[in-house]
Amino acid sequence: MRDQARDGALRLLAAVEDGATLDEAAPLTEGLSPADRARARRLAREVLRRIDRADALLTPFLARRPRPQIMRILRLATVEMLALDEAPHGAVNAAVTLTRALGGKGQAASGMVNAVLRKVAASDQVWAALPPQRLPDWLRKPVSAAWGEAVTRAIEAAHEAGAPLDLTPRGETPGEALPTGSHRLPAGTQVSALPGYAAGDWWVQDAAAAMAVRLLDPKPGERIADLCAAPGGKTLQLAAAGAEVTALDISPSRLGRVAENLARCGLAAELVAGDALDWRPPQPMDAVLLDAPCSATGTIRRHPELPLIRDGAGLAELTELQAHMIDHALSILKPGGRMVYATCSLLPAEGEDQLTAALARHPGLTVLPPQAAGIGPDWTTAQGALRLRPDMWPERGGMDGFFIVCLRKSAEQT
């Protein structure tokens, strides 16, 4: 019988090599059962987290580099055996079957695949000594310049480890309560099977992402604009706090997900599909949340394909857009109003440097030091922002990378 999940994983890996995200590649596994589809995606993610490590182990066993399809099969079996505790005979047999299914060239290569993977199966000590996958240079350089080599390596280790499932609670919520208020469950937990999902007692949101609204500290009745709202995790937090929320997003389809999430949780917000830079409220807002579009390099634990398919191109346009959005957000805020600027990025260019530049452009703008519960001693920057990184909370399973700052507009400004 064909191994549908492994076959699906190989198709996903091929699509990522062609530059697709795993979300974009998802239709390639549409014909699979839900369980096989989920397993295919999990296998693909686990391989993407360890391609360099698998290649470093495999290369000495290969007389010459095989064709891409065969290399993907070798990587998958290597990761299954050495990182996912799959029994060698099952992983090797599956790899040989998948190789044979490639036709004539596969038939010819199946003996080599079998022999190489038997050596791989006996290489657990070599595997354990290999370092986690390095960030690509365009990302590694600024990360290492900001926090040094040891932190960069710890971030790389956290990327390999993947991400647990975090929930933001509203009612009764499963999982371990974290110091910041989020709840945590093991990676791979099936979300829709958890109690309270349909009732909207909680929603899925990384513990770091949940900190943006905690820093804004919304009050009941405050008029708050969520300028980049979809899929809506932060909109839900604002609405649950009793704020009168206007949630904007430039993507109508993504805004549809905000509507679905609000409906599931029995919460309300005004929804506006459009460019935040064009939107002006009838009266200035009490507070604004700007969870700006960014490189998403803080989410590599969940999206391990990002370092492979991005090269840092477009970063200058993104940072320019972020700066415009900060200026626009301040222009729709009442004097003395609060604004949170957040990006799920590891790059200081999208965080610390944006704050420095915004403070220089807007005399009278001040940083409100983070006050929320559970903030670790090393999370706050000298400027009073939160710098969250995947290597933080290592004993609890890490968190996404985020930069978050709460700003107060001068009371004198008009």
Query: Per the annotation, where are the binding residues for S-adenosyl-L-methionine?
Result: 228-234, 249, 275, 291
Q: How many residues bind ligand SAM (CB under 6 A)?
A: 19
Name the minimum Å distance from CB 349 to ligand SAM. 16
Number of residues assigned to the chain? 414
294 included as an active-site residue: no
For ligand SAM, the binding residues in 288-317 under the rule CB under 6 A are 291, 293
Name the minimum Å distance from CB 107 to ligand SAM. 47
| Site membership for ligand SAM, residue 229 (CB under 6 A) | yes
- The helix/strand/coil state of 46 is helix
Q: Name the residue nearer to ligand SAM (CB basis): 12 or 178.
A: 178
Name 250's Cβ contacts closer than 8 Å, sequence gap at least 6.
Answer: 228, 273, 274, 275, 276
Name 203's Cβ contacts closer than 8 Å, sequence gap at least 6.
Answer: 167, 168, 170, 233, 236, 261, 264, 265
Q: Name the residue nearer to ligand SAM (CB basis): 275 or 327.
A: 275
CA-closest candidate to residue 72, choices 14, 156, 26: 14
Name the minimum Å distance from CB 398 to ligand SAM. 19
Closest-by-Cβ residue to ligand SAM is 228
| Site membership for ligand SAM, residue 228 (CB under 6 A) | yes
Q: Name the residue nearer to ligand SAM (CB basis): 379 or 403.
A: 403
Contact 170, 240 (CB under 8 A): yes
For ligand SAM, the binding residues in 335-354 under the rule CB under 6 A are 344
Name the minimum Å distance from CB 60 to ligand SAM. 42
Q: What is the token pair recorded at 81? A: 């055996």
Name 21's Cβ contacts closer than 8 Å, sequence gap at least 6.
Answer: 303, 305, 306, 309
- The helix/strand/coil state of 78 is helix
Kindly indicate which of the ranges 5-13, 36-44, 227-235, 301-309 contains the residues binding ligand SAM, using the contact rule CB under 6 A.
227-235
Contact 275, 376 (CB under 8 A): no
Q: Which residues are catalytic?
A: 344
**Chain residues in the site for ligand SAM (CB under 6 A):** 227-234, 248-251, 254, 275-277, 291, 293, 344
